[in-house]
Chains A and B, each alone.
Chain A
């Protein structure tokens, strides 16, 4: 006896909802995209996005000011030294502070913000696997931070070089190593968003008050230069520093350690992120919402 197409279609939803077989993956992808779409609107147009825009605009404003009012020093007149100036701005301001706080803001709010808004139960009541929710929300945060901080990094570098040395900058970016440096900086920014995003996603999920762990993380990442080589590897900043095209001295008190090569640093960050997302997925399956006390 042959099964009619109508009966087949009716069986599909049960397969999809339980996530077995091809249809499960297709459904999860669709649901991830739907969550992504919803969350992207919140990340870019929500009231909380204002602070993110402000953070991302800070380095651009700073280098614009530097281009308009350059200090009377050789650093601003030589291409080689200007790339060191940008490396200092990138390492000291963009990477260590702005991306860190920006990611903390976005990724901690993915779940904590929903709890505060008392809207997480809408997601939990809909027929979506919670792991799918984690992935969808994480990807939305990732896209928002990558777009904002990636653009801020690229814009800062271009404004600095073209603003101070327009003639040399054209040659530097179009036929020199400038384009490679620019892409590397943007790449490091993307990796920073991936790494810090995963850390703050899990912090936001596990801790009711994520401020203290965020503060401890900030201290750990800042004091990384003082840590012994073994401990340096238990941080995101160590791998990111290994990848920046113009390495800077970390000062006289820094404990020197071999930078991790790119072929190890990049996969390490991806593996770390994968493990964190997996843990977040495990945690959220048992998560119960309590809006009291928020």
Chain B
């Protein structure tokens, strides 16, 4: 089992959600996050003074997947969130030891 974590531009969430749904993903978690990568931050202006905002708003998506579906899920996220411009975000995949659905106590792939 894998945990797919994706950092995306906030306004791409609807597109990504639709793409994941189409790819058969039935659950995901979204958090509002801030950070910087190569994009750096952005500037805002108040009374003529420019302020550097280093940590820009992003969304962090977490999706669990079985080993054989991980590429489908990653491809769906990449396809839906890419604008081709700097700041599109990043995806990383980590191995998960165990998953438990609390209500039914199912474990493993059945709990995803």
Q: Do A and B bind each other?
A: no
Partner-B contacts on A (CB < 8 A)? none
Partner-A contacts on B (CB < 8 A)? none
